[in-house]
Chain A
Amino acid sequence: MEEVVLRAKNMFKDFGATKAVVDVTIEVRKGCVLGLVGENGSGKSTLSSMIAGVYPPTKGEMTYLGKEYKPKSVLDARKSGIQYLTQEQGTIDGMTVAENIFLGEEAQFSKFGNVNMRKLNQHAREILNNNGLDYVDPSKPIEYYSFEDRKMIETARSLSQQPNILIIDETTTALSQKGRDRIYEIIAEQKEKGTAVVIISHALDEIEMLCDEVMVLRDGAYIDTIRGDEINPQIMRQKMIGRELGGLYYRGDVESTYEEEVVLSVENLSVGGLFSGISFDLHKGEILGIGGLSECGMHELLKTVFGAIKPTSGTVRIIEGGIHLTSTAVSVKNKVAYIPKDRDKESLFQATSIKDNIVAVSLDNLKTGMFILPKAEKKMANEEAARMEVKMQNVEQLASDLSGGNKQKVVLAKWLANNTKIFIMDCPTRGIDVGVKAKIYKLMDDLKHQGISILMVSEEMIELIGMADRIITIKGGKQTREFIRSANLTEADIIEAIV
């Protein structure tokens, strides 16, 4: 066994009445990659936050490099060699790239309070070059760069001084394949250098690929540690939820099954600068998957099909009635639904009741005469929330109080309430824990068998392979290939068509 760098013993963390972490002991070893997995609310992020100095434990002791460890802040932890990367923006607007890299550490470049910008930029330039970021200009304001570049700059910052522990908390979720690959490279490099790496992720295949050891948490408590060959998604899932998933996760069948009738036809669709000449037919009862890299234009494609973006050329037509989808209002009227990738900003009304969220698109169907009665709203909301098994206190609760998985259930409930016939989904299981994911896959399968059609974009290859009848790939805004559902389809096949 490798040498222990940090040991956190009998850690507890309470947030008011919520017990986020209950008596967990964790050891982080030199040159080892440790995975932390668990559903939302399992305590994995809270645990790593305490190690990273975000907040102190309610109870528990940590020893680091043989000495007692009580970090006062993230900066404090960083100075002692523990680096922490998260999912959200970790860089600050209004400062240059160089200023962000040396945030909190400007003292080394200043004399009598004045920071030597030339030196600052020089050192920043070195760090950027060492991390494959030669194209980044340290003197430019950081807002100039994309979310992903900023994340990479943040990563370069965390590696500028060789860390002892590198914690990566769900950082890969928001990155493109290219960004993810770079993080994987970094993990491999650091492991070689003897750094202890802790990685938290919902992407179990990623965990399988990277980790030497995986610790499973559930409801704040320690469940098990798995090593070596035992590390595979199925076993991890089982331990995370604590019960057999009932066999199936994705669809059970391996054949492409859909009716001949075409319900939606997209012809030569283009939006200048984003994608061009996209054409496909969506059949009744079909799950049509679209795969590609993050910036290939597929997310905007879905918005255009739904009518939220005006195309520069091409048409989107519902076959029944020959209706062109020219606006979101037309789409909704014709029982088309859209589930955005950015749940919190684009599909949920946050400071609003679950009830109002669920009935939002179905108001016309609820009318008694000219008016919408509260009783009818409540009835519909209760029915749909029960159907989706939303974990809540009651429908009057604010939607913002719900966990990610339950928020998505509310979004789905909203569209099901409208008797949707065509679903357009963008990354429907993004950032959702395994238990809810399984429920959503089952729902998609049920809908499919009811003759409802689904157009789905996903950045998870396995999800596409597991769920879709056909997969269309997009690269650089253009359609490349089409794959038919089959037991032999592999991720590598699809990746080839999208990079």
Chain B
Amino acid sequence: MRKQFRKIVPLAGLVILIAVFSLTTDGKFTSANNIRSIIMQSAIVLVAAVGTVFVMAHNNLDFSLGGACAFSSVAAYLISGGNMYLFFILCIVFGVLCGLLTSLIHIKGRVPAFMAGMCIMFAGRGIAQTAVASRSMLLVSATKLNNLWVFIAIIAVVFTIGFILFNYTKIGKYQKLIGTNPKAAELSGISISKYKMLAFIISGVTVGIAAWLTIIRSGSVSANTGLNLEIDVLLALSLGGIPMSGGSATKMRSVFIGTLIYFILNNGLTLWGLNANYVDIVKAAFFLFTVTISIDRSQKTLIE
């Protein structure tokens, strides 16, 4: 009974939010323009979150996202020299590189993953800031793609592929097993290092795509590209009900539900005219509420 309740809370939260904002904003919330705005704002976090789910499922947190995003954009820009398609491919390549590096530091260097992620995050941002300071990085041609349907297409493709990989292949399934019980996973013949690395690589791919989307939206690479991406993704996934320690209960749908809650909350509160400072407080309260209800305390003793 309690388990069912726990599963429904994020979805229920989303539905309630949508209902409340639809009814109280005189139709502003449900206007086509607003919905378009929400979708395009949330796309970056949504895409990055798909990859992060793989990492969280095996009980790790990827804190490199923001720095990886910045670094990938900068490196891709410098090498691609304005060629859109090359830029896209290189974003992904460098995203994967960051993911690989993070996982290597974690696995070979035996550094806790979140610390390894943070190192990459700081390094990546530092490199990006230095590069941006020395020249402007405009990619106006990218803004051609700044429209709703491109974004929806990318979200759809990334989510679908992520969903299939996570639920119907070894790559996804093993993440959940490793998160539930790494010892049993190893003794079942699963190579823990190999699959952890694959998760970080997948996270790197989605970070690369997120970087690309960021440039499309803004038309340039700046020192703040991808700022706080890792925090936004973590909050969004938590709001979506993802278990903190991963494991078998990790669901891809947390990506959608959580990201939507996050951005709808932002959007709705702004439509209400709430002071921007208070918006953060409300978000924090909502987050605390959802997570407290969602944490499965019974699971804790089982794992012990």
Interface of A toward B, CB cutoff 8 Å? 306, 308, 327-329, 331-333, 338, 340, 345-353, 356, 360-361, 363-364, 370-374, 400, 414
Rounded to whole Å, the gap between the CB of A242 and the closest CB of chain B is 32
Closest to B194 in A: A329
Complex Cα–Cα for A333 and B190 (A): 10
**A340 to chain B: closest CB distance in Å?**
6
Contacting pair A328 B303 (CB below 8 A): no
Q: How far is the CB of A377 from chain B (nearest CB, A)?
A: 9
B302 cross-chain contacts in A, Cβ below 8 A: 350-351, 400
Contact between A361 and B189 (Cβ–Cβ < 8 Å)?
yes
**A333 in contact with B189 given A352-B177, A363-B173 (CB within 8 Å):** yes
Known contacts A371-B168, A372-B168; decide if A352 and B189 are in contact (CB<8 Å): no
Residues of A within 8 A of B177 (CB): 349, 352, 356, 360
**Chain B neighbourhood of A333, CB < 8 A:** 189
User: How many residue pairs at the A-B interface have CB separations less than 8 Å?
Assistant: 78
Assembled-state Cα–Cα distance A345/B187 (Å): 11
Instruction: Indicate if the CB atoms of B181 and A327 lie closer than 8 Å.
Output: no
In whole angstroms, what is the CA distance A338 to B190 when docked?
13
B160-192 vs A, Cβ < 8 Å mask (1 yes, 0 no):
000010001110010011001101111111110
5 more CB-based (< 8 A) A-B contacts, given A347-B184, A363-B170: A349-B248, A352-B176, A356-B176, A372-B169, A374-B168
List chain A residues, Cβ under 8 A from B296.
351
Across the interface, which residues of B come within 8 angstroms of A400, CB to CB?
302
List the 10 shortest-distance A-B pairs measured between CB atoms, nearest first: A332-B189, A352-B248, A371-B168, A349-B180, A329-B191, A328-B189, A350-B302, A329-B189, A361-B188, A363-B170
Q: Is B249 engaged at the interface, CB distance under 8 Å to the other chain?
A: yes
Contact of A351 among B168, B180, B186, B187 (CB under 8 A): B180
B186 touches A308 (CB 8 A): yes
Chain A nearest Cβ from B257, distance in angstroms: 21
B187–A340 CB distance below 8 A = yes
- Tell me which residues across on chain B come within 8 A of A345, comparing CB atoms: 181, 183-184
* Closest CB in chain B relative to A457 CB, distance in Å: 15
Kindly list chain A residues whose C-beta atoms are within 8 Å of the C-beta of B303: 350-351
The closest CB in chain A to the CB of B170 belongs to A363
Q: Is B247 an interface residue (CB 8 A)?
A: yes
Cα–Cα distance between A492 and B296 once the two chains are bound (Å): 50
Q: Are B169 and A350 in contact (CB under 8 A)?
A: no
A residues within 8 A CB of B168?
A: 371-374
Q: Is B134 an interface residue (CB 8 A)?
A: no
- Complex formed: what's the CA distance from A348 to B168 in Å? 21
Question: Whose C-beta in chain A lies nearest to the C-beta of B299?
Answer: A351
Contact B181 A308 (CB under 8 A): no
Instruction: Evaluate whether A348 and B248 lie within 8 angstroms (CB atoms) in the complex, with A328-B186, A372-B169 already known.
Output: no
Complex Cα–Cα for A374 and B183 (A) = 25
Question: Would you give the shortest CB distance from A394 to chain B, in whole angstroms?
Answer: 16
CA distance A374 to B168 in the complex (A): 8
Q: How far is the CA of A373 from the CA of B168 in the complex (A)?
A: 6
B180 and A352 within 8 A (CB) = yes
Query: Per-position contact with A for B95-108: 1 when CB-CB < 8 Å, else 0?
Result: 00000000000000
Residue of A328, A351, A353, A374 ringed by the most chain B CB atoms within 10 A: A351
**Of B169, B176, B185, B247, which one neighbours A370 at CB under 8 angstroms?**
B169
Say whether A346 contacts B173, CB under 8 Å.
Answer: no
Within the assembled complex, what's the spacing in Å between the Cα atoms of A400 and B302? Answer: 8
Bound CA span A363–B177, Å:
12
Our pick among B170, B187, B189, B191 for the contact of A347 (Cβ within 8 Å) is B187
Across the interface, name the chain A residue whose C-beta is closest to B174: A363
Q: Please give me the residue from chain B that is nearest to A418 by CB atom.
A: B189
Contact A372 B173 (CB under 8 A): yes
User: Are A371 and B169 closer than 8 Å at their CB atoms?
Assistant: yes
Q: Bound state CA distance, A349 and B187, in angstroms?
A: 11
- Please give the distance in Å from A186's CB to the nearest CB on chain B: 30
The reply to whether B184 and A371 contact each other, CB–CB distance below 8 Å, is: no
- Please name the residue on chain A nearest to B180 by beta carbon: A349
- Determine whether the beta carbon of A351 is less than 8 Å from that of B249: yes
A356 surroundings in chain B (CB, below 8 A): 173, 176-177, 248
Complex alpha-carbon distance, A349 and B57, angstroms: 14
Tell me which residues across on chain A come within 8 A of B248, comparing CB atoms. Answer: 349, 351-353, 356
B187 near A338 (CB under 8 angstroms)?
yes
B residues 185-217 touching A (CB-CB < 8 Å): 185-191
Rounded to whole angstroms, the CA-CA distance of A143 and B180 in the bound complex is 27
Decide: A328 and B170 in contact? CB cutoff 8 A. Answer: no
Please tell me if the beta carbons of A372 and B170 are within 8 angstroms of each other in the complex. Answer: yes
Smallest Cβ distance from A147 to chain B, in angstroms? 16
C-alpha spacing A374/B184, complex, angstroms: 22
- B176 contact set on A, CB distance < 8 A: 352, 356
Expressed in whole angstroms, the Cα–Cα distance for A350 and B296 within the complex equals: 14
Which of chain B's residues has its CB closest to A334's CB? B189
Nearest A residue to B302 by beta-carbon distance? A350
On whether A327 and B180 interact (CB within 8 A), knowing A349-B248, A364-B170, A372-B168, the answer reads no
List chain B residues, Cβ under 8 A from A328: 186-191
Inter-chain CA distance A328–B174, complex, in Å, is 15
Q: A371-B164, A371-B168, A372-B170 are in contact. Are A348 and B191 (CB under 8 A)?
A: no
- Distance from A372 Cβ to chain B, minimum over Cβ atoms (Å): 5
A-chain residues with CB within 8 Å of residue B164 when the two chains form the complex: 371
Contact A331 B181, beta carbon cutoff 8 Å: no
| Complex alpha-carbon distance, A349 and B177, angstroms | 7
Alpha-carbon gap, A67 to B299, bound state (A): 43
Nearest residue (CB) in B for A414 is: B188
On whether the beta carbons of B187 and A308 are closer than 8 Å, the reply is: yes
> Are B184's CB and A346's CB within 8 A?
yes
Residues on the B chain within 8 Å of A347, using CB? 184, 187-188
Query: Which residues of B are found within 8 Å of A372, using beta-carbon distances?
Result: 168-170, 173
Give chain B nearest CB distance to A298 CB in angstroms.
Answer: 17
Q: Which residues of B contact A364 (CB under 8 A)?
A: 170
Closest residue of chain B to A307 (Cβ to Cβ) is B189
Q: Shortest beta-carbon distance, A442 to chain B, in Å?
A: 25
B187 touches A346 (CB 8 A): yes
Beyond A356-B248, A371-B169, is A350–B181 a contact (Cβ under 8 Å)? Answer: yes
Complex Cα spacing A308 to B186, Å: 8
Complex-state Cα separation, A465 to B191, whole angstroms: 36
Complex contact B183–A346 (CB within 8 A): yes
Complex CA–CA separation, A371 to B247 (angstroms): 20
In the bound complex, CA of A279 to CA of B78 (Å): 61
Q: Do A352 and B187 form a contact, CB below 8 Å, given A364-B170, A372-B173, A373-B168?
A: no
Alpha-carbon separation in the docked complex, A356 to B176 (Å)? 10
* A350 x B180 contact (CB < 8 A): yes
Q: Which of B281-304 touch A at CB < 8 Å?
A: 296, 299, 302-303
**B181: which A residues are within 8 A, CB to CB?**
345-346, 348-350
In the complex, A372 Cα to B191 Cα: how many Å? 19
Quote the shortest CB–CB distance from B3 to chain A (angstroms). 9
Q: CB distance B299 to A349 under 8 Å?
A: no
Q: List 6 A-B contacts (CB under 8 A).
A: A329-B189, A347-B187, A348-B184, A349-B184, A356-B173, A356-B248
In the complex, per-residue mask of B34-45: 1 if CB is within 8 Å of any chain A CB, else 0: 000000000000
